[in-house]
Structure 1
């Protein structure tokens, strides 16, 4: 996708997103993605040589290889949203091999999916594309529905099937968040011992985070603090939903905040809100990859490209996009992934 097509796709938001100048956190304060990111950031850390190698493997695969940006295909919705609901739009993906084929054909840096999906195909594909094993999930077969991430396998098992990284979710703010935090911290410690990189899905989850018609689960202040906790337990990469608003702490009247969080450190512009997320990832030392969101049909391409532009201009490291790609015909899924990657390859789209 060329720049002119991208501008047309963004429509009325094009000027706001492509010409915005950020006056909250200066870009000079950020540790931005680049070809030397592992050397520049992780070489001085406590990560062992095997972790450095696997991180470099993630940054060296697919169409974005050598750029410092990431395009990851995640498909754990068969557990998180039920297989029928997730794969009914395209039953091809009931077979996990097609998930890996989509990631390969789509030029992704890595594929993130379940123990079962990767385990069946490890010997065929582990050397062809980096594996990210999602080690915990929220299953939806318990009634009434509950939201609780539980371990589905061990870190050792992920290592045995050739994973370059493990991924896990913590539902920050939930009743079970303390247990999840302890479990995932221990899992990440073991993953680093074995040489695998770590990626944390830093999601907020609490019914109180909805106030009337306003949902603060994607508020910049709440998600930013979730990111900060995630980096603290040694996540190398943070996955977070794109922020849609701010002021969660003050609206719900809990925790601690400072008025400058909503004035000097952020504005209502989505790039500034996302930069606040990046700042909470130790100023980008842990890369921020925003999630692509659920499929909406005809607007998926526009929304995916919009998210990529916001993430890149904010100082993020890429997208982890699944449903918008696999819940459509295979070829169109590949085209959508390529369109997102084109944003990160474009020299016309720069840091705000």
Structure 2
């Protein structure tokens, strides 16, 4: 996709997003994506040689291979949102092979999906695209509905599938978060010992985080702290919702904050909100990938391009898009992924 098309899709937001200069965290303080990212960041860590090899396999694969940016296809919605609700628009994805085909033809760095999906086709695709096995899920058959992440398989089984990485979700702020932190920390330690990289879905979930019509589950200060806990338990890559508000700690009157968080370290500009998330990923040493969100039809492309520009200019590492790709006809899903990747390939779009 040509740069002019990206500008057109940004519409009235083009100038404020493409020409903005951030004055919060200077870009010289950030560990930015680049072709040498694994060598520059991870060689000096405690990660063993097998982890480095698998991380490099992810960073070198697909259309963004060798750039330091990531495009990952996540399809765990068959569990997280029920298979019927997720695949009704495109029933071909009831067959997990089509998920793998979409990731391969879509030029993704990796595919993130369930034990069952990968197990069914692992020998055909494990050498064609890096596998990211999602270890835990929120199942939706308990009534009344509860929101908890439970383990669906073992780290050892992910390794048996040929996985390059494992992924997990923690619902930070939930009543079950303490147990999830302990479970995931142990799983990530085992994954690293077996040579697999680790990716954490750092989501915040608590109805008390919603006040006066504002949902602070996506606040920069709250999600930033979730990111900080995520890298503390040694996640190599952090997946987070794009921040669209700030001041959650002060509005809800909980946890701890400092006025400088809102006056110096961030502003209301979306790039600065995202940069605060990046800063909490050890200044970008763990790459931040923002999630795509639900499909809204015709608005998806413009919205995802906007998110990609914000993430890239903030110092992030990429987008992880699922429903917006697989809830379209197959060829359109492939084209959609390519168009978002083109934002990261566009040299005109630089760090703010």
1:177-326 equivalence runs, <5 A: 177-326=177-326
CA drift of 1:326 comes to 0.3
For the residues of structure 2 that align with 1:307 and 1:292, how far apart are their CA atoms?
Answer: 8
Partner of 1:109: 109
Partner of 1:168: 168
Partner of 1:72: 72
CA drift of 1:238 comes to 0.2
Which consecutive unaligned segments of at least 5 residues does structure 2 have? none
Partner of 2:26: 26
Q: Which runs of 4+ in 1 moved over 4 A?
A: none
CA drift of 1:274 comes to 0.1
Which consecutive unaligned segments of at least 5 residues does structure 1 have? none
For the residues of structure 1 that align with 2:232 and 2:292, how far apart are their CA atoms?
Answer: 24
SS in 2 for 1:299: helix
Deviations 1:83-119 (A, max 9, x none): 0000001111010100000001100000000000000
Partner of 1:47: 47
For the residues of structure 1 that align with 2:87 and 2:190, how far apart are their CA atoms?
Answer: 33
For the residues of structure 2 that align with 1:144 and 1:198, how far apart are their CA atoms?
Answer: 32
Partner of 2:86: 86
CA drift of 1:120 comes to 0.5
For the residues of structure 2 that align with 1:43 and 1:274, how far apart are their CA atoms?
Answer: 26
Q: Calculate the aligned-residue CA RMSD, in Å.
A: 0.4
For the residues of structure 2 that align with 1:310 and 1:202, how far apart are their CA atoms?
Answer: 19
Q: How many residues in Structure 1 have an aligned counterpart in Structure 2?
A: 352
Q: Does 1:59 align with 2:59?
A: yes
For the residues of structure 2 that align with 1:95 and 1:250, how far apart are their CA atoms?
Answer: 46
Deviations 1:52-111 (A, max 9, x none): 000000011100010010000000000000000000011110101000000011000000
Query: TM-score, structure 2 length as denominator?
Result: 1.00
SS in 2 for 1:9: helix
Deviations 1:141-192 (A, max 9, x none): 1011111000000000000000000000000000000000000000000000
For the residues of structure 2 that align with 1:327 and 1:252, how far apart are their CA atoms?
Answer: 36
For the residues of structure 2 that align with 1:239 and 1:316, how far apart are their CA atoms?
Answer: 10
CA drift of 1:212 comes to 2.5
Q: Does 1:159 align with 2:159?
A: yes
CA drift of 1:217 comes to 0.5
Query: TM-score, structure 1 length as denominator?
Result: 1.00
CA drift of 1:227 comes to 0.1
SS in 2 for 1:121: helix
For the residues of structure 1 that align with 2:28 and 2:35, how far apart are their CA atoms?
Answer: 17
SS in 1 for 2:170: strand
Deviations 1:217-257 (A, max 9, x none): 00000000000000000000000000010000001000000
For the residues of structure 2 that align with 1:4 and 1:36, how far apart are their CA atoms?
Answer: 29
